[in-house]
Structure 1
Amino acid sequence: MGATKTSNAVAAARGAANGRRNLILIAAVVVIAAAVLGGVVYSHALADQPQAGGTYTATLQSDGTVVAGSSTAKATLDVYEDFLCPYCKHNLEDPYGKAITQAIAAGSLRVNYHVLDLLDNETTPAGYSLRAGNAALAAAKAGRFAEFHAALYNAQPTEGQAGYTNDQLVDIGRKAGITGQQFADQVRGGTFDTEIRSQTDKARDSVNFKGTPTVLMGGTQVDIAKAGWLAQLTGAA
C-alpha cells in the first residue's frame, strides 16, 4: 500500500507546475515517513505483549507428559506433536487450538500432551524440535504451557531453517508471561531433553502412533479431518 501511495503521488506531481509538484512530493514523503514510523512503533509495542491467549491448568509428569485439564472431563485425549511439524499447526492447532484451550479450561476436555522431537533433523543445523520441546516442558513447569504452546505454533519456523535458539525461546517465553529465572535456566540447560527423546522412542514403538499429529482417545485414532469431532467428544455439539 505504501508503494502504491508513493507511485500515485509521483505521477500526480509530474503533471503539475514545479511549485505544486514540490509540495506534493514533500507531502508524500511526510505521509510515508509517518506511516513507517507508526508501523515500527506498533510492531515494537506488539512484540512486548504476550503472544498467546487462553490458559488452563497443566501438570508436567515425571516421564515428560504434560497433563492439561480436569480428571473429571468428559473426554480425555492423547496428543502427539512436534513443534516443527507443519501438519500439527495447519491440521490441528490453527483450526482447533482455541477450541481445545476453551474446552480444557471449561473442564470438558483433558489432554495428555506428548511432545516429540521427531523432526529434529529437519532444521539446519539440526536440533530445533528438541529445543522447542524442552522449552515447552519448562513452560509447563513454570505454569504457562498453554500460552507457550500457542506462541510456538503461532510463530512456527519452516523445515530446513535453523529454528529458534535457546535465547530466542526464552524471549518467546517472556512474551508469553514467563519471567522466572528457572525457566530460562531449564531452556538453556536442556533440562528435559531426556524426557523428550524418551517420549519420541515410546511413540515410535506404539502401534497406534501414525506420525504427528496423532490424536488418540482410549487408544483409538481420532479423525481430526472430520468436521465437528471435538464438539462431539466434549458434548458441545
Structure 2
Amino acid sequence: MGATKTRDAVAAARGVADGRRNLLLVAAVVVIAAAIIGGVVVTHAMADEPQAGGAYPTVVQADGTVVAGSANAKATLDVYEDFLCPYCKHNLEDPYGKDMAKAITAGQLRVNYHVLDLLDNETTPAGYSLRAGNAALAAAKAGRFAEFHAALYEQQPTEGQSGYTDDQLVDIGRKAGITGQQFADEVKAGTFDAEVHGQTDKARDSVNFKGTPTVLNGDNQVDISKAGWLGQLTGA
C-alpha cells in the first residue's frame, strides 16, 4: 500500500510546475516515513506484550512470587528454589520438572514459585543467583517462565564458577522464545532484584523453610524423595 501511494503521488506531480511537483514529492515522503515509523512503534509494542505459546501462563505478584496454574487446581504448592542450587536441579527439576509443567498446564496443579538468591556468594565473581532470579521473573512477565526455568536448570553452572552474564541470560531467554526488548532491558537493569532479595529474606524468616529446594503443600513439607508424591497430590 505504501508503494502505491508513492507512485500515485509521483504521477500526480508530473505535468505541473516544479514547485507544485516538489511539494507533492515532499508530502509523499513524509507519508511514507510516518507509515514506517508507525510500523516500528507497533512492532515494538507488540513485542513487549506477554507472548503466546508458553507452556502455561504466569503472574508475577507484587512481592515477586511467580504464580503458575489455575486457582481451581486440586493441589497448590509453594516451591522455594535457587537456580544455582544443585539439589534443586537433581532432586526436583530433573526428576519432576516436566511432570509438574504438564500438571500445571492440565489445570491439576498450581505452584507459587519463590525464587531466591541464597547462593549468591557461591560463584566467582558473586552474583549469579540474583541475576538468574531477576531474569526468571522477567521471563515470567514475558509469558515464558516454564521454558526459561527449564533452560536455566538444563544449563546450570557449577558452584564456584562465574555463572551466566546478563547478556548470556538474555540469549538463553531468546532461545526459550522471548523476543521482546523489554525482557533484555529488565535483565540488564536488575528490575526484580529487590523482589528476589525480599523473597530470600522472607524465606529465611519462615519456620517452614528448610533450604533449597523446599516444597510445601500448605504448611506441610512435601517429601520429594518419596516416589509418586506428585501424583498423590494431583490425582493424576
TM-score over 0.5 for the alignment? yes
Specify the code of the residue in structure 2 equivalent to 1:160: G
Deviations 1:16-63 (A, max 9, x none): xxxxxxxxxxxxxxxxxxxxxxxxxxxxxxxxxxxxx97111111110
CA radius of gyration, larger in: 2
Q: How many residues align?
A: 184
Q: Is the 8 A contact 2:54 2:144 kept in 1?
A: no
Unaligned 5+ segments in structure 1 are 1-52
In the superposition, the TM-score normalised over structure 1's length comes to: 0.77
Equivalents in 2 of 1:141, 1:68: separation in Å? Answer: 11
The alpha carbon displacement at 1:146 in A equals: 0.5
In the superposition, the TM-score normalised over structure 2's length comes to: 0.77
- Percent identical pairs in the alignment equals 84
Specify the code of the residue in structure 2 equivalent to 1:74: K
Equivalents in 1 of 2:184, 2:219: separation in Å? Answer: 35
SS at match of 2:208: coil
The aligned counterpart of 1:42 is none
The aligned counterpart of 2:96 is 96
Deviations 1:188-215 (A, max 9, x none): 0000000000000000000000000000
Unaligned 5+ segments in structure 2 are 1-52
Q: Is the 8 A contact 1:54 1:101 kept in 2?
A: no
Specify the code of the residue in structure 1 equivalent to 2:165: T
Equivalents in 2 of 1:173, 1:68: separation in Å? Answer: 18
Deviations 1:58-106 (A, max 9, x none): 1111100000000000000000000000000000000000000000000
Specify the code of the residue in structure 2 equivalent to 1:143: G
Deviations 1:142-201 (A, max 9, x none): 010010000000000000000000000000000000010000000000000000000000
Equivalents in 2 of 1:219, 1:148: separation in Å? Answer: 28
Specify the code of the residue in structure 2 equivalent to 1:184: A
Specify the code of the residue in structure 2 equivalent to 1:113: Y
The aligned counterpart of 1:87 is 87
